[in-house]
Amino acid sequence: EMDTFVTRILLEIQRQFQLDLTLNANLRIALALHLIPLLTRLKYNMQLTNDMKDEIKASFPFAYELSVITSDMIQNTYHYALSDDEISYIAIHFSNHIEQLYQQKKEKKKILIISCARSSNSLLIYSKIQKKFVQDINAFTIIQMDKLDSITPDEFDAILSTSLKYPKIPEKAIKISEYIDEQDCKIISSLLNDDYEKIHVKNYITKELIYEGRLNDKNQLLKKLCELAAQKYNFDLSELLASVLEREKLGFTSYGNYVAVPHTMTRISDETFITAGLLHTPLKWDEDNVVYLVILISLGKKENHDLYSLYSSLSKLISNKDFIETLIKTPSIDKLLDFIQLT
């Protein structure tokens, strides 16, 4: 019975976030072993406290979102409402296994480097790659352009080329110098670590999507943030706002550190967007939390993003207590955008 319930949880996560964890046997076992005693404790109204819940939420926001889905399914199936503390404990399991999943992806990276100059340049490139990335040397295939027909570019996660002007060079190739300078090494390192062109908060928020001011009603602020997005992207405000408010009924969108991260219950917009509210006075968000910064996320229907990367970049903002404290003292949209660009 528990295995079936865990399957339902993972299928719901797949439906909402397009992340397939159903075949992760270790995660399935970990969740089952956690949920069995949890349900027993819930039966006798014995929920644990978690002194680390705010740190868990700020550091692992994506894992926490998956735990909220789990909590909602527990409530719908077994009719027990989980506390924020218990939800945070579940998040630890998701965090551990998602991190392992992404580490495995890194280990499988294959990078093709195309040298468009003399064959001696290929040897020079190999020498520099070996020196800089000795532990990852097996990830690289280095060939001359005239040998390009002998390989299948689609087999590689990334392609680098010393020139992009030749017709044979694949469209997704990234330009590097023939001498592999420091900037090239940064690009290569990003590719190996799955950071290059990674989905990031900074890709989806602009000055016109940030509200700054004073509002003392949560629903008024959510409506304002939805209006900013509806005006820019020209879609139905009522549908967007209704989805955000539906998600708020589940609660648990405050992440501590005076930050809340509401989002839509389902995918409403075609494109992913992020809006933000920067408040001059504290806004009561729920029974236990007030906020000064609200970041609203809507995931696009047409996009299958690396949400782990999005939430990882978000965690760098919401877990930075010093910056949030500075932002509260001297609210500034430019200051917020500058920080997002640098994280």
Q: Residue ranges of the domains in the chain? A: 2-106, 110-192, 201-342
- Tens of pLDDT, residue by residue over 199-231, are 678 889 999 999 999 999 999 999 999 999 999
Q: How would you classify the pairing of strands 273-284 and 174-175? A: unpaired
Report the distance separating Cα 309 and Cα 316, nearest Å.
11
pLDDT band at 303 (very low <50, low <70, confident <90, very high): low
Report the distance separating Cα 312 and Cα 59, nearest Å.
8
- As assigned by CATH, the class of the 2-106 domain is mainly alpha
271 vs 26, more confident? 26
Give the residues across from 115 on adjacent strands.
144
Report the distance separating Cα 242 and Cα 29, nearest Å.
36
Question: Which of 97-101, 119-123, 268-272 has the least mean pLDDT?
Answer: 119-123
- 197 pLDDT above the threshold of 50: no
> Are 2-106 and 110-192 equal in CATH topology?
no
- 34 pLDDT above the threshold of 80: yes
Q: What percentage of the chain exceeds 70 in pLDDT? A: 95
pLDDT band at 48 (very low <50, low <70, confident <90, very high): very high
What pTM value is reported for the model? 0.74
- Choose among 69, 105, 291: nearest CA to 193: 105
- 262 pLDDT above the threshold of 70: yes
Instruction: State residue 103 phi and psi, 5-degree precision.
Output: -65, -40
pLDDT value, residue 203: 84
pLDDT mean over 302-324: 82
Q: Which CATH architecture has domain 110-192?
A: 3-Layer(aba) Sandwich (3.40)
- Tens of pLDDT, residue by residue over 144-172, are 988 888 889 888 988 999 998 888 899 88
Domain spanning 201-342: CATH superfamily: Mannitol-specific EII; Chain A (3.40.930.10)
Q: How would you classify the pairing of strands 273-284 and 290-298? A: antiparallel
What string of H, E and C letters represents the secondary structure of the chain?
CHHHHHHHHHHHHHHHHCCCCCCCHHHHHHHHHHHHHHHHHHHCCCCCCCCCHHHHHHHCHHHHHHHHHHHHHHHHHHCCCCCHHHHHHHHHHHHHHHHHHHHHHHHCCCEEEEECCCHHHHHHHHHHHHHHCHHHHHHEEEEEHHHHHHCCHHHCCEEEECCCCCCCCCCCCEECCCCCCHHHHHHHHHHHCCCCCCCCHHHCCCHHHEEEECCCCHHHHHHHHHHHHHHHHCCCHHHHHHHHHHHHCCCCCECCCCEECCECCCCCCCCCEEEEEEEEEEEECCCCCEEEEEEEEECCCCCCCCHHHHHHHHHHHHCCHHHHHHHHHCCCHHHHHHHHHHC
